[in-house]
């Protein structure tokens, strides 16, 4: 079966591939099967995985999908990863500096995982996740500001310094989510791509929490290569 490949973060870096490519899902190699078995052992009773529960749970679903598995079958104690993600969405808050905030990074990650599971991002966890990312037609709405091309980075905003510490991931994951959803009502705005380019430092890297990082740079490049 062919699928649109979705970018993950460093936890599943072996699954990185440019998001515009179409490939046939792989049968897990011995190493990948072992890694997925290890991750399955880390899954919690609510369906989540890892200390960074939202991001790592989404990555778990994406890695499984890349290896040709059905991420809806990633279940622990009767709860799938999507039970956890759906509960997170249902209990999430508008864009404020809290861990459960709906911003470009959090909703972007959830949308990618939802698409990987063959579920509907416009009706998940009682919400239209694409609307949570942007207004229809790529207009201001949700986490998106069409005047600046910025997807909000709410959870890691530092009100003291005024810095958006996770802006690159928020921008990249929102772009990748919209690209994966492939919904003409919610396109990837050209201004959003331009803003991501503008976040690049003069040395070529993209920062996270003030420091250039290979992971954030890779995420930016993947989003810009969509």
pLDDT of residue 27: 63
**What is the rounded average pLDDT of the residues 157-176?**
86
pLDDT of residue 28: 64
Query: What is the value of pTM for the model shown?
Result: 0.86
pLDDT of residue 164: 76
pLDDT of residue 97: 63
> Please, which residues bridge with residue 216 across strands?
none
Average pLDDT, the chain: 86
Which conformational region is residue 29 in: left (phi greater than 0), alpha (psi within -120 to 50 degrees), or beta?
Answer: beta
Q: How far is CA 153 from CA 100, 105, 145, in A?
A: 12, 7, 11
pLDDT of residue 98: 66
Phi, psi torsion values for 93, nearest 5 degrees: -115, 160
Question: What are the pLDDT digits (tens) for 18-52?
Answer: 333 333 445 667 788 888 899 999 999 999 998 88
Query: What is the percentage of the chain residues whose pLDDT exceeds 90?
Result: 70
């Amino acid at each position: 079966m062919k699928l649109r490949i979705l970018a993950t973060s460093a936890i599943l870096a072996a699954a990185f591939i440019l998001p515009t490519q179409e490939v046939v899902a792989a049968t897990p190699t011995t190493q990948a099967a072992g890694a997925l078995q290890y991750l399955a052992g880390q899954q919690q009773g609510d369906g989540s995985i890892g200390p960074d529960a939202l991001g790592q749970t989404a990555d778990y679903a994406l890695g499984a999908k890349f290896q040709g598995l059905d991420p809806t079958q990633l279940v622990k104690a009767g709860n799938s990863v999507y039970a956890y993600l759906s509960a997170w969405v249902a209990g999430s808050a508008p864009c404020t500096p809290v861990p459960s905030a709906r911003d470009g990074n959090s909703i972007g990650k959830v949308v990618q995982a939802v698409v990987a599971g063959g579920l509907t991002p416009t009706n998940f966890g009682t919400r239209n996740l694409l609307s949570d990312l942007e207004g229809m037609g790529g207009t201001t709405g949700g986490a998106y500001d069409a005047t600046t091309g910025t997807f909000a980075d709410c959870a890691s905003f530092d009100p003291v310094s005024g810095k958006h510490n996770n802006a690159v991931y928020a921008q990249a994951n929102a772009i990748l989510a919209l690209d994966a959803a492939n919904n003409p009502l919610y396109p990837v705005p050209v201004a959003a791509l331009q803003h991501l380019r503008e976040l690049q430092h003069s040395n070529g890297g993209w920062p996270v929490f003030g420091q250039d990082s290979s992971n954030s740079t890779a995420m930016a490049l993947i989003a810009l290569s969509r």
